[in-house]
Structure 1
């Protein structure tokens, strides 16, 4: 239901209190529809969070058993990589990929200054598009965040100039790992010779 005060009036989007008799029937029906759907979505989201935790705990328990079998500490780095688990018949598969979340420290600005120095020296009117292409890597999104993939991809450019090479080294030094996010994917097939089919269940934003 919409926000309702003690007099039974409904709060609209303009922060005005409106008597329900003045609200069209279709508007009231839509209010109930949105309320009902969001309640179902929130309930499913809660179930997905619980399912993700259960899956993670099951996998942790299995890895702990393996480590114990081979006399390794439960805090071993062996638990920090990417994993693929398959059933005995090779018809079910779980893939876990650990993606590092990175930020750039203040050295990134130094690297950008080095790049600008290089570009301003070598770029002429006939190749201005090169400068635009490289500078696009440092553009931020609507939330003010840099795209780490675009910035790190600059290191793949085969540019020999010592200023560019130094800038790439500084970019590498500016990288700071701030966390690790697991991505879990599920697959199935009828028999081992078939292609895998994805079982869609998106945990990415949970």
Structure 2
């Protein structure tokens, strides 16, 4: 028997000359005892995951190279003009000379809420209880979605911000909104890269996505 035939296939282990595959419980199962459909599924998954890991590594390298290139370009501009590109948060945009391609860098803050949020919730509940029939159902729905989550120590941030945009002049409501603002804590930030292109300078921008759910081509 040649050495090639004695090598285990992906997912297989050779013990005393016999081929085994490890199951989900960690037990070694003889290859001949495994159903062909299960072996075929295993082979398919190992192939797909191999491509997925390679693609993930390639995207990570691309992201790193992109930030390096942009950072070096920013350093050249700062050296040439003595100023840093972008606003206070670090948002900035780069565009090709023909106006057909651009890359944007945006920084999004991660916000958590302190104990003042519970005071805001009490004040909001007082308002809703007193207004009772006069309060709009959609307002009650927003408040419910904002504070009713799977975990008591979490809130729906999008609905909380929607509450801040409501024009309600009741003094307790205004105090509640001030308590929400005081409860906000910026706990970190994340930087996003976005890529755009267009066929002509007067055409709308089209996003170049690196999201499998949104990527063009392939099966839908």
TM-score > 0.5 by shorter chain: yes
Could you tell me which residue of structure 2 aligns to residue 84 of structure 1? 93
Instruction: State the shift of 1:154 in Å.
Output: 0.3
Instruction: State the shift of 1:15 in Å.
Output: 5.1
Q: 1:57 aligns with which of 68, 79, 91?
A: 68
Partners of 1:185 and 1:201 within 8 A in 2: no
Q: Secondary structure at the match of 2:49?
A: helix
Q: Does 1:102 align with 2:111?
A: yes
The whole-number CA distance in structure 2 between the counterparts of 1:8 and 1:157 is 67
Name the CA shift for 1:3/1:158 in 2 (closer, same or farther; >3 Å): farther
Q: Does 1:158 align with 2:167?
A: yes
Name the count of aligned residue pairs. 201
Name the CA shift for 1:127/1:101 in 2 (closer, same or farther; >3 Å): closer
The whole-number CA distance in structure 2 between the counterparts of 1:113 and 1:4 is 62
Q: 2:199 aligns with which of 190, 198, 204?
A: 190
User: Could you say which structure has the larger radius of gyration?
Assistant: 2
Q: Does 1:23 align with 2:34?
A: yes
Q: What CA RMSD, in Å, does the superposition of the two structures yield over aligned residues?
A: 2.9
Name the CA shift for 1:154/1:44 in 2 (closer, same or farther; >3 Å): same
Larger RCO (alpha carbons 8 Å, 6+ apart) = 1
The whole-number CA distance in structure 1 between the counterparts of 2:12 and 2:148 is 41
TM-score by length of 2: 0.78
Partners of 1:63 and 1:79 within 8 A in 2: no
Q: Secondary structure at the match of 1:31?
A: helix
Partners of 2:116 and 2:180 within 8 A in 1: yes
Instruction: State the shift of 1:114 in Å.
Output: 1.6
Instruction: State the shift of 1:70 in Å.
Output: 2.7
Partners of 2:128 and 2:135 within 8 A in 1: no
The whole-number CA distance in structure 2 between the counterparts of 1:184 and 1:139 is 33
Could you tell me which residue of structure 1 aligns to residue 53 of structure 2? 42
Over residues 185-206 of structure 1, what are the superposed CA-to-partner deviations in whole Å (9 max), with x where a residue is unaligned? 212233323332322224xxxx
TM-score by length of 1: 0.83
Over residues 1-32 of structure 1, what are the superposed CA-to-partner deviations in whole Å (9 max), with x where a residue is unaligned? 44758574333335554322111112111101
Partners of 2:94 and 2:102 within 8 A in 1: yes
Q: Secondary structure at the match of 2:68?
A: helix
The whole-number CA distance in structure 1 between the counterparts of 2:200 and 2:136 is 55
Unaligned segments of structure 1, at least 5 residues: none
